[in-house]
Structure 1
Amino acid sequence: MTTSGVAANPESTFSLVLATAAGLPGVRIDRADYLRSALARHCSEEQIRVAIDDSPAAAGIPLDLLDRLADDSIRYEAAKASAISAAAGIPGFVFMAATVPADLAQYLGHMLRVAQKLAYLYSWPDLLSGDADDLDDATKGVLTLFVGVMFGAQSANTAVGQVAGMLSKQALKRLPRQALTKGVIYPVVKKVAGYLGARMTTQTFASAVSKAIPVIGAVVSGGITLATFLPMAKKLKSHLSGLELTTSSPRADAPHVVDVDVVDVSETSDHAVRLHGERDAHTGDR
């Protein structure tokens, strides 16, 4: 990725980086596996079944529990993103051209991972559980909006709220593809993609500077990643948790939810992630 390419067409640049990041090993989160793992210590098997078949909101799972699980996932992904960023800074100036684009893709990949986890907790439908080549325009659109929310784009906040309203009012199990690819949301997606592509110029420059000095660059790079990733992920969490989709009424036949095991579910180890196309099999992955 070149700075001139970003400046020439920031919208296309972001779309390309988004698709690249989505294809990285371990970026795709299997919705059913993740919900089962996240809810296993807190909910009955019937509650988990309803959450997977329909949504956590339909299962009547309390918002405060979902918020705690979301915080666990944010901390976990932030720690992983920082560790990878620090490792990318170790080669120093000689290998800078090779590490900066990879670091950027990895950073966006962890943003996509945490975005999926937050979306599934807060009752959004499946996004990236499938194969690497099935990233359709509607999915690209909603992921672009999620990243836009993380970067503080107000238009992305509004558009995500509109999509959530469509999902809630129409009881949709899939993304509203027409709205995201040709309808009222599509112009916002294009605008947000252009904004994010332009931001990459600054981010790539800052990342390059932090990596210019070996070891010191690694510490700086990892610290910058942690300092930026946490608040950005919390922005998305805050927005998704307050949407109508999350607070909709549970199904009439939803089982009564009792938080049976309130414990710290933060990851205690970081197992190797399987190659893309396979499920995220880390059982403690929150």
Structure 2
Amino acid sequence: MTETQEVDNLGSNFTQILDAAAKLPGVRINRATYLRTALKRHCTQEQIERAIAQSPAAAGISLKIITEVANSSIKYETSKVTGLSALSGIPGGLLMLGTVPADILQYLGHMLRISQKLAYIYSWPDLFAEEGDEIDEATESMLVLFVGVMFGVQIAQSGVSKVAAMVAANVAKKLPQKALTQGVIYPIVKKVAGYLGVSMTKKLFATGVAKAIPVVGAVLSGGLTLSTFLPMSKRLQKHLASLELTKPDHRANETDVINGEVVR
């Protein structure tokens, strides 16, 4: 087997684990529910409904509020991830991944939860279809890129930036399916998945969980709160905040309501 084939296989292993984590109860975040709950203390009802229908940026919500909500979400997920507990069982379709400990899946599940929350508050469209639907390829690709950014993979940042530009240019209410599954972004996704596979999956399967990358060891030891999950979440937050997609005037009309005041 060539090195390229091995990396592709490891990337495939990682996406299988990611898909398994995405199917765990509570991992998928309902965009409308999250935005309504997260913004209710900060915005008018009109702003909230516009943020849901379009985006927080289109609703003219200030970056100060966006940052506060993002920080609160990171704090909440960080506190939750410290209480990881073994699952009583894994859905039947995941039995092929029986060598992956339940707490590893739960940890990745929390990474997916904070990825979704940060994406939604920073004006990304809905990542998932209806609850219970299989994860589609575009969503899988986007989640791979988000996790890649959290792990500090530089090419993942480039991928996220390119997708954000497409969403912004097309005023899209969904992810650019073709670009993420067979177009210009897909090769980036494959490289990121391969990197994550080499970093996580190979060590997980070949040398045992105890010798896996630091973040995995931290999960098992229970000492991950400030040393792993928090800085990784902050890394994704910083990158999403830097994108044009999240700017308060992006896709806003001439007249917007900001912090309850009409601004022209």
User: RMSD of aligned C-alpha atoms?
Assistant: 2.6
Pick closer, same or farther for the CA change 1:238–1:219 going to 2, 3 Å. Answer: closer
Pick closer, same or farther for the CA change 1:182–1:9 going to 2, 3 Å. Answer: same
1:31-62 deviations in whole A, cap 9, x for unaligned? 00000000001101000010000000000000
Shift of 1:99: 9.2
| Matched residue, 2:93 | none
In 2: Cα distance, 1:254 partner to 1:130 partner: 33
Pick closer, same or farther for the CA change 1:102–1:226 going to 2, 3 Å. Answer: farther
5 Å matches for 1:177-192?
177-192=177-192
5 Å matches for 1:30-179?
30-84=30-84, 87-88=85-86, 101-128=101-128, 130-179=130-179
SS of the residue 2:173 aligns to: coil
Question: Is 1:208 the equivalent of 2:171?
Answer: no
In 2: Cα distance, 1:218 partner to 1:179 partner: 35
The structure whose RCO (Cα within 8 Å, separation 6+) is larger is 1
| Matched residue, 1:221 | 221
What letter corresponds to residue 223 of structure 2 in structure 1? G
1:98-155 deviations in whole A, cap 9, x for unaligned? 8962111101100000000000000000013522333110000111000000001110
The TM-score, its normalising length taken from structure 2, stands at 0.83
SS of the residue 1:239 aligns to: helix
The TM-score, its normalising length taken from structure 1, stands at 0.76
Pick closer, same or farther for the CA change 1:202–1:32 going to 2, 3 Å. Answer: same
Shift of 1:177: 0.5
| Matched residue, 1:257 | 258
| Matched residue, 1:269 | none
Aligned residues: 239
Q: Provide structure 1 residue ranges, at least 5 long, that are not aligned to the other structure.
A: 1-5, 89-97, 211-216, 261-286
Pick closer, same or farther for the CA change 1:254–1:106 going to 2, 3 Å. Answer: farther
Pick closer, same or farther for the CA change 1:173–1:209 going to 2, 3 Å. Answer: same
Shift of 1:202: 4.0
SS of the residue 2:149 aligns to: helix
What letter corresponds to residue 168 of structure 2 in structure 1? S
